[in-house]
Every structure is written in structure tokens, then in C-alpha cells.
Amino acid sequence: MIGLDTGFFIKLLAGNETAKNYWIDIVNGQRKAVVSTLTLFELKRLTLKGMIDKEAFKSLDKAIPLNCKLIEVDKKLCIEAANISYGLKLAAMDALIFTTFRLAGCTEVLTTDSKWTSYKGKKPEVKVI
């Protein structure tokens, strides 16, 4: 299972080939993906700031739940994310999203955030695109 960070969707909208290839595999059922509901928050916020087209956001808002497992923030995730945030010196939102992937059992994470590579656990493997 693959964790898709907010940066993945920004790259997808920009036409990044790696992101497009992964997304095609996910839509076709060849790969399974996890997305944090916090990513929807970040994408909507970027839309409000004018950094993402409104129609593009509407498409993602429909496509993500259809093709990915959405994970909401709960107590267990918050407690674990605090440890990750402190240990890796990640911003709170990044730690919450990253921890979503760990707790969901993702084997890899696609992100644009190179800070996530400081995680040295066995899983998930962090791939910066």
C-alpha cells in the first residue's frame, strides 16, 4: 500500500510523469493507496490561496475517496504523530500525515518533502518525487 502526501497531488496536477504513472496504476486497481483527510484540508487551503485551480480541486475531491482509502485523525494517530514530530523535527501537519501512513501499514510513501527521508524505520519507505 502506498501513502500519498499532499505534494503527490500537486505534482500530479502539474503533469509529473512519476505521479501520473502511480495514479494510473491506482485508478486501474494495480496499486492500493492511502490518503490522510488532512491532505484534503491542505489541497482545499491551496485552492483558496489560488495555488490550485478550483475545478482541479473538485476533481481531486471526488477522485481521492473513490480510488484511495481515506484515514481520519484519531487519538492514537495524534499521540504517535507527536512522537514522530518530536523525533524527526517535523511540522505537526507533516507528522500527522506521515503517521497516517505508518499506522495504515503503507510500505512506501510518495512525497515532495525531503525532510521525511530522515525517518529510519523499516516501513514505510519514503520516496521523494
Fold (CATH) for 2-128 = Rossmann fold (3.40.50)
Domain ranges (residues) in the chain: 2-128
Give residues with Cβ within 8 angstroms of 109, minimum separation 6.
2, 3, 4, 5, 98, 101, 116, 124, 125, 126, 127
Predicted confidence band of residue 121 (pLDDT cuts 50, 70, 90): low
Please give the pLDDT value at position 118: 67
Predicted confidence band of residue 119 (pLDDT cuts 50, 70, 90): low
The pTM (predicted TM-score) of the whole model is: 0.91
Please give the pLDDT value at position 126: 84
Residue burial 38-48, b: 16+ Cβ < 10 Å; e: rest? bbbebbeebbe
Q: Which helix (H) or strand (E) holds 111?
A: strand 108-111
For 90, phi then psi, to 5°, come to: -95, 150
pLDDT at 78 over 80: yes
